[in-house]
Amino acid sequence: MNILVTGGAGYIGSHTSKLLKKNGHVPIVFDNLSNGWAEWVKFGPFVFGDIRNEDALYQALKGFQVDAVIHFAAKAYVEESTRLPEEYFDNNVGGTIALLKAMKRAGTKRLVFSSSCATYGNAVTPAIGEDHPHEPTNPYGLSKWQCEQVIEAVAPVAGIHFAALRYFNVVGNDPDGEVFERHEPETHVLPNLMKAAETGAPFNLFGTDHPTRDGTAIRDYVYVMDLAEAHIRAIDVIQERPRLVSNVGRGEGTSVRELLTAVEAALQKKLNVQEHPSRPGDPPELVADAQFLRTWLAHDFKTVPQVVEDLVRLARARKG
């Protein structure tokens, strides 16, 4: 299949493009490089463009005879969204509306959308199921929830089958080292832990007074290649059914301190940790109820220690 991958020059998009190619598909990356890397577009053609440009999207969909779209492109910094909410609604919601219009015009029938556990807000149950209330605590999460609502309204009218995958925290790198997690600035905990270990710079630990087992935030970490697999499977699933809304998590929580300990143990090195207050809009604990996911995705997910081991192996290989 020819698959348009919006945001395919970014972290998850580039890993998914690699797996798409490996599975015999053609990933056509559509990205404005606002937060992506041209050198990661190496698994198929590149269209430089902005998802708010409906005509550019339409040309790409028609020109490449696209069978399905995986829509990763978004602004995705929680803290930034609290300072620039209007940018987040314009880019994320505006871009999704333009994409739906272009798909409707071009007759493209399948869409997999990157949603997020940030659409739920603070957990009111220990594990978050798909029917958990949606009360996002920051404009980023709200923009993703609004995108889902727009898709729910437009897709049936436009004859589009869709999947909305609500990922929990995505971690890890391509095992071959061809692409890897890289955000500017990097706010994600695992690459920052690895960087601190490699450079000796301090690791900034945000939030030590959360109501959790060790005071630090608990998240459900999903390995990026497992997530890529979920997207490819979702494209098949929505061939048969019009709507698939699912969490993508492992159903197990790991605290920041537990991650820190895992990295220190794998590297046999103590990190220089600097503690800071929690960041605004950061919920204490987000863990998926992954029961529904297991009904449509028969795939074993990597555990956090396995992901950490891989990262250490890749870091050692890079050093030679």
* Neighbour tally for 318: CB within 10 Å: 10
Closer to ligand NAD by Cβ: residue 116 or 173: 116
With CB atoms as reference, the residue minimizing the distance to ligand NAD is 10
Pair 135, 121: CB distance under 8 Å: yes
- Which residues make up the interface to ligand NAD (CB under 6 A)? 7, 9-13, 31-36, 50-52, 72-76, 91, 95, 114, 116, 167, 169-170, 183
Closer to ligand NAD by Cβ: residue 99 or 262: 99
- To the nearest whole angstrom, how small is the minimum distance from the Cβ of residue 229 to ligand NAD? 15
Amino acid at 289: D
Residues with Cβ within 8 Å of 116's Cβ and at least 6 positions away in sequence, in order, are 76, 140, 141, 144, 166, 167
- To the nearest whole angstrom, how small is the minimum distance from the Cβ of residue 43 to ligand NAD? 14
Q: Using alpha carbons only, what angle is made at residue 180 by residues 177 and 186, rounded to the nearest 5 degrees?
A: 150
Distance CA 71, CA 31 (A): 10
Closer to ligand NAD by Cβ: residue 35 or 146: 35
Closer to ligand NAD by Cβ: residue 12 or 68: 12
Full DSSP string of 88-127: HIIIIIIHHHHHHHHHHHHT--EEEEEEEGGGTBS-SSSS
Tell me how far CA of residue 148 lies from CA of 24, 141, 168, 182, 288, in angstroms: 29, 11, 16, 26, 18
Q: What is the separation of C-alpha 204 from the centre of its chain, rounded to a whole number of angstroms?
A: 22
- To the nearest whole angstrom, how small is the minimum distance from the Cβ of residue 320 to ligand NAD? 27
Closer to ligand NAD by Cβ: residue 9 or 128: 9
Closer to ligand NAD by Cβ: residue 29 or 262: 29
- To the nearest whole angstrom, how small is the minimum distance from the Cβ of residue 196 to ligand NAD? 19
- To the nearest whole angstrom, how small is the minimum distance from the Cβ of residue 27 to ligand NAD? 13
Q: Which two tokens stand for residue 52?
A: 């708010």
Taking every pair of C-alpha atoms in the chain, what is the biggest distance, in angstroms? 56
Distance CA 220, CA 238 (A): 25
- To the nearest whole angstrom, how small is the minimum distance from the Cβ of residue 30 to ligand NAD? 6
Q: What is the separation of C-alpha 316 from the centre of its chain, rounded to a whole number of angstroms?
A: 26
Which positions are annotated as active-site residues?
Answer: 140
